[in-house]
Amino acid sequence: MLKYDTLFGPIDKVQIAIDRIRQFEPPEGYYVAFSGGKDSQTVYHLCKEAGVKFDAHYHLTTVDPPELVRFIKQNYPKVVVDRPPTTMWKLIVDRKIPPTRIARYCCQVLKEGGGEGRFVITGVRWAESVKRKNNRGVVEIFGNKTKDKKIFLNSDNDEVRRVIETCVTRGKRILNPIVDWTDSDVWEYLNGRKIDHCQLYDQGFKRLGCIGCQMAPFSHRQDEFKRWPKYYQNYLLTFERMLKERERRGLPNARWKTAQDVMDWWIYEMPREDPDQNSLFTDYEAS
């Protein structure tokens, strides 16, 4: 629930999120990371309610669900669509292995750019995964190195304000205003304000993201390829070009003889942590 009573008084999650957004508004405005999913929709509209200055950006990955791209263009025309420097299809050939849970090079190149030196707002929530519960906060501040990351679970204290004020502008500051919201909170907010959402949510999809993403459950990837078979074929054609590139580079292909071998390994056989992947990762890291 977005509103409820406690022994310490009433709680209004929407107002808390709005207060968080207003608290750190930078002079140049926020950079809102927008994906078109329900969570980023929520922070987008919360920013509007808060009356803060912001610009929202959607990173086109080239493996986005077509319905999602259309939804963003039709419903959020002011969102800036940032096109990637390459495509997923070229990236796989260049890296010489498919993207995996361990080698998530696709996210780094296609999704995680942008917002450098800006105060970024995201729709990250603890309810999405145990890892996010343990590693994400209301406010996150990155220095020039990953180890310099600071996480604050509460935005309302002097320390976080002091750190933000003295933060090197080359770093990235992140605000997650709905980090403590549940799925039902998000839907209550959107439905209560009669905000349209992408049709894919009404057709069995629990998450919206890159088609074929290894971070998605196996059943979800199966559903994606059934719905968008052309993407399955594009991956096969790409794996074929990848194998030729590996052969040209003199890299071993003992595990994979055909593009279908790669696909079967990628979808069905590859466990979350495959010891045999180590040699494959060495191939692309050394290139």
Whether 279 maps to a domain, the answer reads yes
- Residue 167 banded pLDDT, cuts 50, 70, 90: very low
The set of residues, in sequence order, having a beta carbon less than 8 Å from that of 280 and lying 6+ positions away, is: 97, 103
Q: Which of 175, 203, 231 is the last residue of a domain?
A: 203
- Reply yes or no on whether the pLDDT at 239 is more than 80: yes
- Residue 285 banded pLDDT, cuts 50, 70, 90: very low
Q: How far is CA 117 from CA 30, 161, 234, in A?
A: 11, 17, 36
Whether 272 maps to a domain, the answer reads yes
141 and 79 assigned to the same domain: yes
15 and 72 assigned to the same domain: yes
241 and 168 assigned to the same domain: no
- Reply yes or no on whether the pLDDT at 212 is more than 70: yes
Residue whose token pair is 């905000």: 195
Q: If you average pLDDT over every residue of the chain, what do you get?
A: 84
Contacts of residues 87-92 at CB distance under 8 Å and 24 or more positions apart, as own/partner, are 87/62, 88/61, 88/62, 88/63, 88/210, 88/238, 89/62, 89/234, 89/237, 89/238, 92/238, 92/239, 92/242
Query: Where residue 148 sits, what CATH number does that domain have?
Result: 3.40.50.620
67 and 99 assigned to the same domain: yes
Q: Which of 203, 226, 252 is the last residue of a domain?
A: 203
178 and 104 assigned to the same domain: yes
- Reply yes or no on whether the pLDDT at 41 is more than 80: yes
30 and 58 assigned to the same domain: yes
257 and 157 assigned to the same domain: no
Q: Which of 177, 203, 229 is the last residue of a domain?
A: 203
Q: What whole-number distance in Å separates Cα of residue 37 and Cα of residue 181? A: 15
SS percent in the chain: helix, strand, coil, step 5: 45, 10, 40
H-helix or E-strand containing 55? strand 54-59
Residue whose token pair is 């977005």: 2
164 and 258 assigned to the same domain: no
For 19, the domain range is 3-203
Number of domains in the chain: 2
Whether 211 maps to a domain, the answer reads no
User: Which pLDDT score, from 0 to 100, does residue 138 have?
Assistant: 59
Residue whose token pair is 């949510």: 201
User: Which pLDDT score, from 0 to 100, does residue 150 have?
Assistant: 57
Whether 21 maps to a domain, the answer reads yes
97 and 132 assigned to the same domain: yes
Whether 147 maps to a domain, the answer reads yes
150 and 223 assigned to the same domain: no
- Residue 153 banded pLDDT, cuts 50, 70, 90: very low
Q: Do strands 172-175 and 3-6 pair parallel, antiparallel, or not at all (unpaired)?
A: unpaired
199 and 233 assigned to the same domain: no
User: Which pLDDT score, from 0 to 100, does residue 68 have?
Assistant: 98
The set of residues, in sequence order, having a beta carbon less than 8 Å from that of 129 and lying 6+ positions away, is: none
H-helix or E-strand containing 140? strand 139-142
66 and 190 assigned to the same domain: yes
User: Which pLDDT score, from 0 to 100, does residue 191 have?
Assistant: 98
- Reply yes or no on whether the pLDDT at 83 is more than 80: yes
Q: What average pLDDT does range 9-25 have in this prediction?
A: 92
Q: What whole-number distance in Å separates Cα of residue 238 and Cα of residue 88? A: 9
Whether 154 maps to a domain, the answer reads yes
pLDDT digits (tens, 9 = 90+) for 258-284: 999 999 999 887 644 444 444 454 444
Whether 208 maps to a domain, the answer reads no
- Per-position b or e across 78-110, b if 16+ CB within 10 A of its CB: ebeeeebeebbbebbbebbbbbbeebebbeebb
User: Which pLDDT score, from 0 to 100, does residue 40 have?
Assistant: 97
- Identify the CA nearest to 285 among candidates 95, 37, 88, 46: 95
Is the dihedral angle over the CA atoms 61, 119, 138, 11 positive or is it negative? negative
Whether 210 maps to a domain, the answer reads no
Two structure tokens written together for 282 = 């060495």
Q: Which phi and psi angles does 167 have, rounded to 5°? A: -65, 140
